[in-house]
Amino acid sequence: MGSSPDRPIDGAASPPAAPDLAHAQQRVARLAQLYRFLSDVNQTLIRVHDPGELFDAIAQVALRHGNYQAAVIVLREGTDGIRVAVAAGPAAELVSQISPTLPGTAPGQGMTEAALRSGRLAVLRDIPAAPHLVRWRAPLIAAGFQAGAAVPFTEGGAPVGALLVFSSRPDAFDDEEQALLREVGDDIGMALVHLGAVGRLRESEQRLARLSRVVEQTAEAVIMTDPDGTITYVNPAFERITGYSAAEAIGRNPRLLKSGNQSTETYRGLWDRITAGESWSGTFVNRKKDGSHYTSDVVISPIRGPDGRITALVGLQRDVTRERELQDQLRQAQKMEAVGQLTGGVAHDFNNLLNVVLANGALIESTGLLRPELEPYLEDIQAAARRGSEMIRKLLAFSRREQLTRRAVNPVMLIGDVLRTLRLTLPASITCELDAPVLVPEVDADTGAMEQMLINLATNARDAMPRGGTLRVSVYPEPFTAGLEAPEVEIAVHDSGEGMDEGVRARMFEPFFTTKPAGRGTGLGMAMVYGLMQQHGGTVRVESTPGVGSTVRLRFRRAVGQRGPDAKRVAPPKIRGGSETILLVEDEEALRRAATRILERFGYRVLAARDGVEALELFRTHRDAVALVVSDVVMPRMGGEELLAALHRERPGLPVFLATGYTQTDLSGPAQAASGVWFIQKPWTADDLLGRVREVLDQPQLS
């Protein structure tokens, strides 16, 4: 473009200054206004924070105090592009349409382009006469614009943009105004440089702010101390985890978290490392403000100043209490599993051995042959074997080898039944309560197992309340939410007893763990509850506070879908008696007496004989009444087999039981009935005898 600076591009010369006073006054007023404009621009520059705000403010000030009709700020974009950053004033829209590409001007002739290329102020003094304005002359004139100026501003020496101002005064942009506008341009350039620096500063501030937000929001507790260990900063996580507020912690020593669980060696090792300038990491059990403990993974690092000296220590603590608990739970579960396997195997074999002891004890008893002075011994044997089986049953339950029959059970009815029974055995100083909503869903459970568990929990509660208290069983059903797995039903057994400390609570499910005196507890109750709940697919949790009480919570799955078989328990087959006449032949007097008593107690009429001869006589007297004969085999005078033959001669098919110590197998079905002879194992039990007798009497062939 032109060679002389600031040459008006329309080539028109500045009009000579009017000599009259009025004109001089006008000029002074105009200059005062322009200085005001400049000073406003300067103030604006101090205030603003970013270029966008700067451009907005400059444009506004130009309109208000510069007395211009439009103020537009354009910025260079790429090599040739121009972008409108701000357009202000009544005709701003029009101007901003022109400016980006200046389409209405011949290339290289517009004032904006001139200013941006040269970096010098360009003035368009007489718009109506400007030769290069082709398309935009009319709209500009219609908007009332007489003259315009493009004030370039630079950043780092290169023009980066321009302030375009338009005036309705034909005499606008004289030399003084141009000089002032140049200063405005310089100021904008300086402000941009300044803002760049400020921007960078702000960026680092923002980085710091981000960092501090991270520190403030992180889940890890952060503690900073000075080199002497006085706390200078703690973050919100610290406050949350420890319960100490920042105000309480700052100025104190991290010792305030000391639980006493760390050895002095640990602390010495820590300080050795830190004073050597290294980080220390480890696990601490710390103490919260409320006195409870928490486990945390800790990293402590020294921070060095520029001179290499330690200026601060930073500690990071991650609360791992929950993680550790889960690990412990897993370990505990694995241990229980292993113990379960072991006890399960032993218990199974032991159970068979104990059955033999018990069965034979019962057999000995049923013979009635035991000398009276030996009876207490037998009673002891049986009592011990029964206690043994009871233990074995719990062990089998613990190792999940109990046969369970699960069905839909109404827990409240079952608990009610159990509590009614328990009530009779609990001391009067213990109050029993059942707390359940009116409608409780059925649970998927084995009634027998549920009873056993409740009885055990109630027994534990009783033992925990030697001076009385409250035993409360509560039922909490979870609300049913469609689409979710079957919600659970919780049965909570609560006592107001002595409670347990952490050590006992942690071990209470272990088989044989008991705190009760020898002979009082076997330590199998909770082990059984544990195993049974696992087998039910449920859980058991215990909460306890020493001196306050304990709550054992059993969570059962809710029974869903089809109802199981009737929840009524299947009664064991009932022993039925009868009124028939039975001929009993037994030479041993005690046994004959016992058998007679048993049969008579169940309604039968008994004809008792000492041997075959006597039996035959009796039979002949009561021939029509005798429905069945039970005979010993080995007897004086006439034995069982001889008697059988004689009887069958008198009345073929008469049912005869031969009692023998040797195992004899009955024939089956009609052949048996036709043969008329059955065998009963000796020594029989009362149930055996009554059962077999009824069985034979009910054979259809006999009636």
Q: Enumerate binding residues for Mg ion (CB under 5 A).
A: 460, 525
From the list 190, 504, 560, 702, which residue makes contact with ligand ATP (rule: CB under 6 A)? 504
Q: Which does 514 bind (CB under 5 to 8 A by kind): Mg ion, ligand ATP, none?
A: ligand ATP
Q: Which range touches ligand ATP (CB under 6 A), out of 5-13, 349-357, 500-508, 613-621?
A: 500-508
Q: Which is nearer to ligand ATP, 236 or 521 (CB)?
A: 521
Q: Is 17 helix (H, G, I), strand (E, B) or coil?
A: coil
Q: Which of 525, 612, 655, 683 binds ligand ATP (CB under 6 A)?
A: 525
514 binds ligand ATP (CB under 6 A): yes
Comparing every residue's Cβ against Mg ion, the nearest one is 525
Q: Which is nearer to ligand ATP, 177 or 495 (CB)?
A: 495
Which residue among 6, 177, 495, 611 contacts ligand ATP (CB under 6 A)? Answer: 495
If one counts every other C-beta atom within 10 angstroms of the C-beta of residue 663, the result is 7
Q: Which is nearer to ligand ATP, 254 or 511 (CB)?
A: 511
3-class SS of residue 346:
helix
> Whole-number minimum distance, CB 531 to ligand ATP, in Å?
11
Per 3-state DSSP, what percentage of the chain is helix, strand, and coil (rounded to 5)?
A: 45, 20, 35
Q: What angle do CA 333, 336, 338 make, to 5 degrees?
A: 110
The yes or no reply on residue 343 touching ligand ATP (CB under 6 A) is no
Tokens coding 138: 């009319």
CA angle, residues 86, 90, 93, in degrees to nearest 5: 50
Is residue 464 part of the contact set for ligand ATP (CB under 6 A)? Answer: yes
Give the integer Cα–Cα distance in Å for 149 and 123: 4
Residue carrying the six token digits 């702000």? 202
Restricting to residues 161-180, name those near ligand ATP by CB under 6 A: none
Examine residue 500 and tell whether it contacts ligand ATP (CB under 6 A): yes
CB 481 within 8 A of CB 455: no
For Mg ion, give the closer residue by CB, 148 or 525.
525
Give the residue carrying structure tokens 């923002």. Answer: 206
Question: At closest approach, how far in Å is the CB of 548 from ligand ATP?
Answer: 10
Q: Give the residue, chosen from 69, 167, 242, 456, that forms a contact with ligand ATP under the rule CB under 6 A.
A: 456
**Maximum separation of any 2 CA atoms in the chain, in Å:** 175
491 binds ligand ATP (CB under 6 A): no
Torsion of CA 8, 11, 13, 14, to 10 degrees: -30
Pairing of strands 221-225, 310-319: antiparallel
Interface mask toward ligand ATP for 397-436; x: CB under 6 A: ----------------------------------------
d(CA 232, CA 288): 19
Two structure tokens written together for 628: 């069945």
Among 461, 475, 583, 616, binds ligand ATP (CB under 6 A): 461
**In the complex, which residue's CB is closest to ligand ATP?**
525
Residue 550 contact among Mg ion, ligand ATP, none, beta carbon within 5 to 8 Å by kind: ligand ATP
Binding of ligand ATP at residue 521 (CB under 6 A)?
A: yes
CA distances from 255 to 284, 300, 316, 549, 614 (A): 12, 14, 15, 34, 100
Shortest CB 452 distance to ligand ATP, Å: 11
**Residue 339 interacts with ligand ATP (CB under 6 A)?**
no
Distance of alpha carbon 606 from alpha carbon 382, whole angstroms: 31
Is residue 469 a contact residue for ligand ATP (CB under 6 A)?
A: no
The smaller minimum CB distance to Mg ion, of residues 286 and 460, is found at 460
Report the partner that residue 185 touches, choosing among Mg ion, ligand ATP, none (CB closer than 5 to 8 A by kind): none
Tell me which of 41, 475, 508, 607 binds ligand ATP, using CB under 6 A. 508
Residue in the block written with tokens 């009664």: 571
Q: Which of 44, 178, 366, 460 binds ligand ATP (CB under 6 A)?
A: 460
Specify the stretch interacting with ligand ATP by CB under 6 A; choose among 249-257, 430-438, 457-465, 604-612: 457-465
For the four alpha carbons of 217, 223, 226 and 227, in that order, the dihedral sign comes to negative
Of residues 57 and 524, the one with the C-beta less far from Mg ion: 524
Taking the C-alpha atoms of residue 31 and residue 25, their distance in angstroms, rounded to an integer, is 10
Listed residue (418, 401, 490) closest to 461, CA to CA: 418
Backbone phi, then psi, for 154, in 5-degree steps?
Answer: -115, 155
Q: Which of 69, 124, 131, 136 is nearest to 100 (CA)?
A: 136
Residue 495's binding partner among Mg ion, ligand ATP, none (Cβ under 5 to 8 angstroms by kind) is ligand ATP
What HEC string does 377-437 produce?
Answer: HHHHHHHHHHHHHHHHHHHHHHCCCCCCCCEEECHHHHHHHHHHHHHHHCCCCEEEEEECC
522 is a site residue for ligand ATP (CB under 6 A): yes
95 contact, one of ligand ATP, Mg ion, none, CB 5-8 Å limit per kind: none
Is 515 near ligand ATP (CB under 6 A)?
yes
* 59 in Cβ contact with 86 (< 8 Å): yes
Stretch of 304-312, 366-374, 494-502, 585-593 lying at the interface with ligand ATP (CB under 6 A): 494-502
Tell me the site size for ligand ATP, rule CB under 6 A. Answer: 23
- Minimum distance from residue 456 beta carbon to Mg ion (Å): 5
172 binds, among Mg ion, ligand ATP, none (CB under 5 to 8 A by kind): none
Contact 94, 103 (CB under 8 A): no
Q: Which chain residues interact with ligand ATP by CB under 6 A? A: 456, 460-461, 464, 495, 497-500, 504, 508, 513-516, 521-527, 550
